[in-house]
Structure formats: structure tokens, C-alpha cells
Structure 1
């Protein structure tokens, strides 16, 4: 069964705007399925195939003549030499919708685009499913602990009997051996795996590179480099602090999040949803799941909203602050509790009084199932998180 993706309209629009589209994202996010579905009339060529890859490397001109546009080239990062030839061909044609390039190695793909395809390529990122994309399925869970454990990678939703913990272990092994092994900044895979697990234990927390480096047994510079590796391969992202119009008491370090809470859960050694209920990182995992939904929304729609968090030295924090193009703000507090409390609005009240520009819409996204309209803002259940941007 094909599950329609929220990025589809954006992808079609970009295809009609640019001569080249680059679709990147983490391994197993559904890029190939998406492209074959919405561009079913366009020839598909995978450079994962060794014979095809050899042809492209040895005779790029002949390869592009054989596969004339419009055409989809998947796993194109395997043949970086091809980009300059694609640039030349697209310039000759001078029309939109010529090449769709897809690859899971964001760092290689963007590096080559910046050199050869600048100004010619529309760049999109496909992440795992959003909640909204799968909420209509019979298998969509009632409890958020089940969704955190399961995660939102498409493969797990394709096969109902697939045990998430088993799939994630295989996914991590493949990621380390196929993606990370080729990166010059990583020379010790076992130590990088330890680093990855330690990052999972810090999801939803302010990033302290020095502590992370010490715990892993690496230098501060290596830790910084490895965080960049995880960012560019769509494993983690950093949420920047917002400190405009505030004093020195505002925290200025980013927060670390995993794109998929299920992956973080696996790295933490959690083997069932029941373990999440009493786990000390339950709140951080819930926050990770919700914040990642906001990031997916921005990527899927290509909106110009910019997301931040806001925290002062005394611990008052807004979990997510979206600055919209028109200047308005959306402030979101994220609470794993399943019963609404007036305390949930405490930080929203605090920052509403502190900021000179004011906070526009206030929301509390929590672990329960009720929608409430309060004077201080709206309360949304976790399943309705997409309502924040409507």
C-alpha cells in the first residue's frame, strides 16, 4: 500500500520550477518509493547497480545520452563525476524538469551540487513518515509510548509483524558499515557507535560537546566533526537558541535531537514500549518525537518559518519557538504528562512577560487526548500536533 507523503506537492512544484531536483534524506526514508509513485512515467535508473555505476563512471557522456531527460537517477552520490556533465546537459536544454537526483548521503550530494549545480537545482529533504501521514492506518497506536518505540521509518509500517528493535539494530549496522565507513573523519567505527549511543542519551538536551567528547574518549574537535556527520546523514539535528532582544542570561548553545525517536530508543537499549513508561528519558523522547514533527513540516512544505528554543540561566524554557515570515511567533510547550495542568503554561506566561516583541500563538502539546482552548493558549493532544501550523 502506497502512503501518500506530505512533500508530494512541493516536489511536483519544484520539478516545474528547476531543471534539476535533488531529493536527499536518511537511508530508508522512502525516497525511491516516492519518486517511482509520483513520477511513474519518468524512467528510473539506480546507480546502486554496479554495472550501471561502472557505465556512468567510465563514459558519462554516453551514459547521459543513453538516459536522456526527463530521468530519475537514484543513489547518485556513488558517481560524483556525473554532476558536471549533468550541469552541461541541463544548460544545453534550458528547460525545467530534466533530472531528478536522489541519494541518502546528503553530505556528498550537496557538496557536488554546490560545485556543479548551484542555482540549477531545487533541494528537498525527505524524512521518515509524519504522524499525519500514518494516523489513518489501523495500526496507528493509541499510546504515544508505542509510537516512540516503533518510530516512523516506512519499513516498520510496511510490515506489521516487523519487530522495531530488530529492524533498528540492522539499520544502525548498515548505517555504520555503508555510510559512515566511507567518511574520512571517522576512523574507528566502534568508537563512533559509542558516540552515537551517547548522543541518544542526550536527545532533547542542550548540547555539551566537551562532556560528550570526554564520555566518548575523543577530542572536542572530533566530537564536533562527528556531530556534523550525524547531521548531514539525517540522524540528528541541532535546534538553535533564540536570543534576539534578550540579555546575557539566555542560553546560547543548541539542543540536540534525533530525527526519529524510534532510532534513539533503540540506541538506548529500550526493548518494549512498557520500558518507556518508567524510563528517565521518557520526557526527552516525547519531546524529540514532537519537535521532529515540526522539522518535517518545515521540510515538506518549504516554509520559511525558522524554529528555535528559548531558555534562560534559571531554567525557564520554551521548547519550540517558530518565527514566521510575517514576524509572528508560535510558542510551544511540550509535556509528556497525560493530564493537563495549569503549570504547563508557566513558562509561556513567563516569556510572554519577558519578550519585547511578544509571543503570538501559545500551545501546549501533551501526552493526553483532549483539545482545550484556554485564555493562555491552546492545548493539543500529541496526535494533533500538526494543528500547530494550521
Structure 2
């Protein structure tokens, strides 16, 4: 059992809010985490994909009220969107009786419908948390290379060998395309969406050009934009926004786009073993996006992530803006002899970040000129995590 970073936060939120929604893609470990949290309190678990459990909710208000003293875990709650108004009424009844928070833990695959329904019905009564695939803090510094190759989905990361891990991811992609996405109400040809997803993997970390994506798969720009929205809504793709400030410089305005889990990137590109990855043209972009995603997951919602690029070549791979408006500038390198690009120095002159880092594959913390520090991904993720908790 790998302890998840979010475990403590879920428990804290259940002590503060009547309902907590734990969102994230399928197979990321939401159910395992929820059952672990609910075990000490004998929580009631209902899987709404199970006909047996759904049948218990033939009279949902009576059934749930009968169990009002227990934590109720509702898995795949988007299957019964009509529950949200009912939960609002039950929460309000419990409040009138002086019952405390922590009544409902809702699990969902981050569908737009789930967010809309819960937002309309449970406003002021619910908190949202995102469970991402396993990260470097959870798996440890010695597992970084395996995590990069296989990605952070538990079944993939913990597979007995690389071939088994790759086959799991292949089946995961196929299931998402052929079963899960249609169940969410989207009618998209599986092969077309697979090609679109694969193009994003080939262009990992590149600037968004929806027109090129649309042209390459033979759809219009609006349709390509809808595909991208869908994958982003399901937490499978991230759009990293550009930093905007009135600096008197021409700034890049398009977001960067990447597939969030490195293991899925490698599955989409047919990369099975580490040796194949190291010789593949995507290796640099894959490592950069793997590092950025892990750092963003480590910071949670305590800071906002951007990238910075000007037409003159100044660039920062990841710019963290903290609540007090201070900035951390982060460059990502694959080299064991890290040396920031000239554009990184120029960007730091533009923005004056309070901390400047170069993430590299080594372990030693190395001071560099102009206050820059070379640091391992694991150490920086842990430093960001500690800062976000203060």
C-alpha cells in the first residue's frame, strides 16, 4: 500500500465540509484511497456501477437518511446525477439536527456533468479534490526512472515488468476510448480520438495549435477543440497557461499542451523499455513534462503554474506563482551537468523570481551562478510540498 499525499487532506476536508468530491481519471486509485479513509469509521460504500448497490437506492432518501450517522462513499456518482439535489436536502436536514461535517465522500471520473451538477446543487456544501497518478514523493527517489517510464497509474507502476506495464496501459487506453468516454455521453470515433491523443503525445509539451491538430486528423477546428476540452476535463491532458504581465515585451500567448501521465505518452508512442525511450525523439519533452506535472501535483492548489516565453527567446519551463505573488522559476534539464540556457537568465531578469532552480537527473544539490540551484526532481517536489503546507 503506497500512502497517497492526498490522504491527510481528504481527512481534513471531511472534518470541515458536509461533502467532499474526490475527482480524477479512472484507475488512479480513488476507490482504494476512499476505502482506506473510511475503514476506521465503518463507512458505507456504494459502487453506482454495480446494479446490486444501485438497487439499494431505489428509495434513496430513506436509505441514505437511515445511514446518516456513517460516512457514505458514493463511487462513480456521475451515474446518478439526480442524487445531487437529494444530497443537498439530506445535508441541510443533518445541519438542522446539529450533525457535523463529513457525511459524504463522492468519487467521480471528473466528468463535466459531475462538476456542473454538484456545483449547482451543493454550492457551499462541497469541497473538490483531485487525485492524480502516483508522484515522485509517493514512490520515492529510487523509483523515479520506473515512474517516468511506466507512469503513475498504480497498476502500471506496480506491474511485474515493463512489458506487463505496457500491456496494462494499452488496455487502459482502449477501454477509455471504446467504453468509458461513450458512457460519459460523448459520441466520438475511437480511432479518431486515439489518433488525436497520439498527436498530442508526439507534440508533448508543444504550443497549442488547434488548426494543425484539426488538419492532421481531418476535422474542423471546433471539433478538435472539443476533443482537447474532453481530454482536459477528464484530467488526461493539461494545458499549461502562459504567464501574462505588462513587461513591455512580446509574450507567447498560446498554452503548452501535454499528456499528463508519462506512461500514457510512452504507450501512445509504442515505447516499452527504458532503452527505447532514451533513444526516442520525445525523450527530452517527456522528461520535461514528467517533471513539470510532478511539481504541479506537489504544489496542489497552493500556487498557480505557468510557463514564460518571449519572442526574444527568454523562457522559463515552469513558473510558480504563490499566494503572496512571489515567483519561483524552474528550468528542466536531462543533462547530469545542468547548465541553464541563456533564455532562462534573461527571463529571470524580466521577472525577478525569489527562487531559481534547474531540475536535473542527478542527486546532488549544486549552486550555480546568479543564485540558481541545480536540484533533483524528488528534492524539489518535496521542498515545494513542504512550502505549500506552511
Identify whether the pair has TM-score above 0.5, normalized to the shorter chain. Answer: yes
For the Cα contact (< 8 Å) 1:186–1:226, is it kept in 2? no
- For residue 108 of structure 1, report the CA deviation from its aligned partner: 2.8
For the pair 1:296 / 2:320, whether they are aligned, the reply is no
Q: Deviations over 1:8-58 (max 9, x none)?
A: 2211111111100110111111111111112212222211211222443x4
For the pair 1:362 / 2:356, whether they are aligned, the reply is yes
Relative to structure 1, the CA distance from residue 372 to residue 351 in structure 2 (aligned partners, 3 Å threshold; closer, same or farther) is same
Relative to structure 1, the CA distance from residue 35 to residue 185 in structure 2 (aligned partners, 3 Å threshold; closer, same or farther) is closer
Aligned to 1:168: 169
- Which stretch of structure 1 is more off in the superposition, 78-87 or 106-115? 106-115
Aligned to 1:382: 377
Aligned to 1:61: 61
Q: Could you say what secondary structure the match of 1:295 adopts? A: helix
Which contiguous aligned blocks of 4+ residues in structure 1 show a shift greater than 4 angstroms? none
| Alignment match of 1:127 (pick from 132, 142, 146) | 132
How do residues 27-176 of structure 1 correspond to structure 2 at under 5 angstroms? Answer: 27-40=26-39, 41=41, 42-56=43-57, 58-68=58-68, 69-94=70-95, 95-135=100-140, 140=143, 144=145, 146-161=146-161, 163-176=164-177
TM-score, normalised relative to structure 1: 0.91
Aligned to 2:190: 189
Structure 1 Cα separation of the partners of residues 72 and 56 of structure 2: 16
Q: Deviations over 1:256-310 (max 9, x none)?
A: 12221111111011121111112111111001111111221233xx41x111000
| Alignment match of 2:307 (pick from 306, 309, 320) | 309
Aligned to 1:331: 329
Structure 2 Cα separation of the partners of residues 366 and 360 of structure 1: 20
For the pair 1:319 / 2:317, whether they are aligned, the reply is yes
Structure 2 Cα separation of the partners of residues 291 and 61 of structure 1: 44
- For residue 100 of structure 1, report the CA deviation from its aligned partner: 0.7
Structure 1 Cα separation of the partners of residues 63 and 313 of structure 2: 58
Runs (5+) with no aligned partner, structure 2: none
For the Cα contact (< 8 Å) 1:238–1:256, is it kept in 2? yes
Structure 2 Cα separation of the partners of residues 86 and 183 of structure 1: 22
Aligned to 1:253: 254
For the Cα contact (< 8 Å) 1:348–1:362, is it kept in 2? no
TM-score, normalised relative to structure 2: 0.91
Structure 2 Cα separation of the partners of residues 364 and 248 of structure 1: 24
Structure 1 Cα separation of the partners of residues 349 and 196 of structure 2: 40
Q: Could you say what secondary structure the match of 1:86 adopts? A: helix
Relative to structure 1, the CA distance from residue 326 to residue 217 in structure 2 (aligned partners, 3 Å threshold; closer, same or farther) is same
Aligned to 1:14: 13
State the superposition RMSD in angstroms.
1.8
Aligned to 1:198: 199
- For residue 183 of structure 1, report the CA deviation from its aligned partner: 4.3
Runs (5+) with no aligned partner, structure 1: none
Q: Could you say what secondary structure the match of 1:160 adopts? A: coil
For the Cα contact (< 8 Å) 2:48–2:75, is it kept in 1? yes
Structure 1 Cα separation of the partners of residues 90 and 16 of structure 2: 17
- For residue 388 of structure 1, report the CA deviation from its aligned partner: 4.6
Structure 2 Cα separation of the partners of residues 77 and 7 of structure 1: 22
